[in-house]
Amino acid sequence: MLCVIIIAIAVAGAVAGVIGVLMGMAASQRATRAVRECNDLVQGTVGSYGTVDPKALRDVAIVRYDALNEMSGQLSFSLALLNAVGDGVVLSSINGRAETRTYAKPVVAGRGEQELSPEEAQAVHSARAGAGVPVPDQESGRRDRASGRTPATA
C-alpha cells in the first residue's frame, strides 16, 4: 500500500513537472512573440507604413530675414515643411512696403526641384537637421540673420 502511494505521488509529480515545462514553453513563446511585435512597432515595420507614416509632416524650420533694403524687422521668411525622407515644400514670403510675394517650391529628398534662395536652402537644411524654429533672445528678441538663431545661441 505504501509503495502504491509513493508511485502515485511520483507519477503526479512527473505529470506536474511535464505540465510546468509545457506551460513554461508556452509562456516563453508568448514572450518572444510580444518582444517581436514590440520590436516591429519600434522599427516601424507594422502595416504598410509602420507606426509612423514616413510621408507625414515631421521636419519644420523657419528662417526670418530682411529680403529688401526698404524694410526692416525681418518680416520676410522661408518655411520648410518636410517629411521623414526630406520631401515637402518650402514656402517663402518676401515682404516690401508696397507688396508681398509668396512662393512655394517643391523639395524632394532634401533638395529643391527649383533653385532655392540661400534662405530657403537654410530653412530646408535646418529642418533636416532638426533645428526647427529658433527661440527668440529673452532680452532683445533679436535673431542672427545668417543662422536664424538668437545671438546668444549662434
Residues 18 and 40 reside in one and the same domain: yes
Residue at 111 is within a domain:
yes
Query: CB of 116 within 8 A of CB of 124?
Result: yes
State the total domains in the chain.
2
| One domain, residues 86 and 118 | yes
- CA 14 to each of CA 7, 20, 31, 39: distance values in angstroms, whole numbers, following the listed order: 10, 10, 25, 37
Task: Kindly state whether residues 65 and 125 are assigned to the same domain.
Answer: yes
Grid cell at residue 132: 526647427
User: What pLDDT does 50 receive?
Assistant: 52
- Does 61 lie in the same domain as 107? yes
- Determine the Cα–Cα distance for residues 38 and 70; give it in Å rounded to an integer: 57
Domain containing residue 104: 57-129
Same domain, 4 and 25: yes
- Among residues 77, 70, 109, which one has the least CA distance to residue 92? 77
The tens place of each residue's pLDDT in the chain, 154 residues long, gives 888 889 989 999 999 999 999 999 999 999 989 988 887 777 665 555 555 677 788 899 999 998 887 667 788 999 999 998 889 999 999 988 888 899 999 999 989 889 999 999 999 999 998 866 554 443 444 444 444 444 333 3
User: What is residue 137's predicted lDDT score, i.e. its pLDDT?
Assistant: 44
Is 41 inside any structural domain?
yes
**One domain, residues 48 and 70:** no
Residues 67 and 37 in one domain: no
pLDDT recorded at residue 133: 59
- What pLDDT does 80 receive? 95
Q: What is the pTM of this model?
A: 0.54
pLDDT score at 152 = 39
